Amino acid sequence: MSAQPAAHATHAANAPRVGWIGLGKMGTPMAANLLAAGFALRVYNRSPARAAALLEKGATLAPSVPLLAQECDVVISMVSDDPALQDVALNEGGLFAAAAPGLVFIDMSTVSPALSARVAEAARQRGIDYLRAPVSGSTATAAAGALTILASGPQDAYDRCTPLLQAMGSKLHYLGPAEQARYLKVAINMMVGVTAAMLGEALVLGERGGVDWQQMIEVINSSVVASPLLGYKTAMLATRDFAPMFTAAQMAKDFDLALDAGRNANVPMPLAAVSRQFLGAMIASGRGEMDFFAYVTLLEELAGIGDAGDRA
């Protein structure tokens, strides 16, 4: 389906009671946008102190996940990985054990299609509507309510929850009734990571050939291979400041999800496999907490090119 525009409006008192789990770098601004759109929000985080900024904006704090399940009509989670989603949804003391039939559970995390399918089956058995709604974007686009949201799951639940999603994203795509959103999310992240690897090799080749660093970036960014991703990373490359927007370790996790999905579906993914090995080398060489576009510095080291900081 085509994308839908964002709609930020104050919602009536009969709007659903919304719960939120996970207040990390992405979850906090996303939850804040729900508050700004007029939704009453009850939040839970393992570290309650992280909820302080949202409490000041009108959210209330839930002491546990089971209480959140009992007090809300819709619960949204934005957590770090498969084990975190398993804990939130399926484990003892999790959401599903306490939820009544009719609850809508929206998970916006980046997790594996395999675990998501297990969550879907558990939700079906308990009469819970489960939407998979991973996002594409950065902390900046999350704060601006301009994320791209990929959704799959029950169509009627998606239709009912569209106003919630529109408060967080400027582009919404409904992809189907099952794990379509999970597959597309890991596929997109895989393409982003492979782009960083390709660009790193190209930049180091240009350096070896004596091309000026700044001019090389400028020309690439205005060439036929220019893209929104390269434009977004241009300032980082030009200044060689690889403070993380998304770390190499996080990208390695997403490649693992993609490769596991490919293996389970018998899809050959040689480019992804090679790129994952170099992400492992980034982590092993102390670059794991740098932005994944710092891949170029690893290739400079392997190519015997010294400290390139003076090229900025």
CA–CA dist 151, 165 (Å, integer)? 9
Task: Give, as one character, the DSSP assignment of residue 122.
Answer: H
Task: Give, as one character, the DSSP assignment of residue 110.
Answer: -
Distances (CA, A) of 2 to 149, 171, 198, 275: 12, 9, 30, 32
Task: Give, as one character, the DSSP assignment of residue 247.
Answer: B
> Which of the following is catalytic: 25, 171, 185, 233?
185
Please list the residues that pair with 60 across neighbouring strands: 42
Nearest CA to 158 among 95, 105, 79, 96? 105
Query: What is the phi/psi pair of residue 110, to 5°?
Result: -100, 105
Sign of the Cα pseudo-torsion (199, 200, 205, 211, in order)? positive
- Residue 185 designated active-site: yes
* Three-state DSSP class for residue 41: strand
Sheet holding 147-151, edge to edge: 135-136, 147-151, 169-174
CA–CA dist 228, 232 (Å, integer)? 6
Tell me the catalytic residues: 185
